Amino acid sequence: MTTSADKADTTTAPSAGPPERKPGSAQPMKAVIGVVGIVITIAVVGTAFQAMNIYDVPRIMQAVVAIIAGVGGAGLLFYFINQLVEALPLRLSLKVIPYAFLLPAFGLLVAFLIYPTVQTIIYSFANDTSTEFVGFDNYTYVFGDEEFRRAIVNTLLWLAIVPASTVVIGLAVAVLADKLAPTAEKVAKSLIFLPMAISMVGAATIWRFVYAFEPEGETQIGLLNAVWTTLGFDPVSWLQTSTLNFNDVLLMVILIWLQAGFAMVLLSAAIKGVPEDTLEAARIDGANERKIFFQVVVPQIRGTIIAVFITVLLMVLKVFDIVYVITNGNFETNVIAVLFVQQIFQFGENGRASAIVVLLLLAVLPALFWQVRHFREEEANR
């Protein structure tokens, strides 16, 4: 005999959630809202930033508008993109959604990186006002210019000294600091890493006072000359001493001082990640600490060493702030990036400046591609 309770159990309860989308269904109204919303959001945000450039808006207000328009605009943009994607048929929506949310990032990449790069390459074949093509004249002038050749030599010298010195100092500090007591290790590493918090311009300004020079008989405000004269020697104009590129080396010291902490942190983490079993096995085989370090530890942290080296190498290729603030390229200290700024802002030679930038880009690309390839190899071997 069937009871009323059994009948209730056999009935199907209605679904409480929203109805599922059918694979072929589309929602035109959502699509319209998404498209209109995207257009309006881009127009409003663009107008807000353009208005700040046209009108004399106080800095505080610029910051407030930038935060509101930037963060709020990004949120609205992704909301309306989501509306547009959800309006598509289900199968198409699932295929499109990853690309749809990557589209704003790719758009910014094209607008602020790819387009300026292509435009710069085109301008490198134009005259100083970028109104008429002159072929390879700018490149011919650049390669024939003595100042450019000096900048190339100085840049190569930076490349030969700074990355290797940074890695060696960072590795030495990482190894020595790891042998300290835990509290002393933290203090030492914090002090060595501290310069990383200083901007390039700030560091250059600090070191200008270190290298400052006053004529003999006057008070030496520069730390280096104060120590030098205390030892009984005459004051030296350090930054004007170009013999054997001595002043270039003094500028390199600043970048090494800034980046040694960065190298130390990464290399110290890599050293701590070396398996203890391999170290114990080497000690059992009779290897001393020197051999253990160079034959066991270093090979296992080779990937990190290369990553630090390439990162500093790319930074050196683009070094600008230190040289610009301290010497502005005078006294035979010019580098490629500073020469570019001088050509475009000091001499108004847009074509020659563009040619210099293109040559700098060509110099950076091999190191960049090599770093990406190395990173992929490291990921594949994990």
Residue 144 has pLDDT above 50, yes or no: yes
| Burial 69-102, CB ≥16 within 10 A → b, else e | beeebeebbeebbebbbbbbbeeebeeeeeebee
Higher pLDDT, 212 or 14: 212
| pLDDT attached to residue 25 | 57
Using one digit for the tens of pLDDT, what is the confidence trace for 187-218? 989 999 999 889 999 999 999 999 999 888 88
Single-letter amino acid, residue 330: N
pTM value?
0.77
With vertex at residue 283, the alpha carbon angle to CA 277 and CA 285, rounded to the nearest 5 degrees, is: 105
How far is 69 from 366, CA to CA, in rounded Å? 38
Q: Residues near 352 by Cβ (< 8 Å), separated by ≥ 6?
A: 128, 138, 141, 142, 343
Q: In sequence order, which ranges of 114-181 are alpha helices (DSSP H)?
A: 115-123, 137-144, 146-178
Averaged pLDDT for residues 128-136: 89
How far is 68 from 111, CA to CA, in rounded Å? 21
Higher pLDDT, 183 or 13: 183
Residue 232 has pLDDT above 90, yes or no: no
Using one digit for the tens of pLDDT, what is the confidence trace for 333-361? 999 999 999 998 888 889 999 999 999 88
Is the Cβ–Cβ distance between 347 and 138 less than 8 Å?
no
Using one digit for the tens of pLDDT, what is the confidence trace for 235-269? 999 999 888 889 999 999 999 999 999 999 999 99
Is the Cβ–Cβ distance between 359 and 335 less than 8 Å?
no
| pLDDT attached to residue 15 | 47
In the predicted model, what is the mean pLDDT of the chain?
86
Residue 23 has pLDDT above 90, yes or no: no
Q: Residues near 237 by Cβ (< 8 Å), separated by ≥ 6?
A: 213
Round to the nearest angstrom and report the end-to-end CA distance of the chain. 67
Q: Specify the 3-state DSSP secondary structure of 126.
A: strand
Residue 22 has pLDDT above 60, yes or no: no
Query: Which percentage of the chain shows pLDDT scores above 70?
Result: 93
274 half-sphere exposure, CB direction, 13 A CA radius: 26
For residue 8, name the pLDDT band (cuts at 50, 70, 90). very low
Averaged pLDDT for residues 31-46: 89
Domains and CATH numbers, the chain: 24-123 (no CATH), 138-380 (1.10.3720.10)
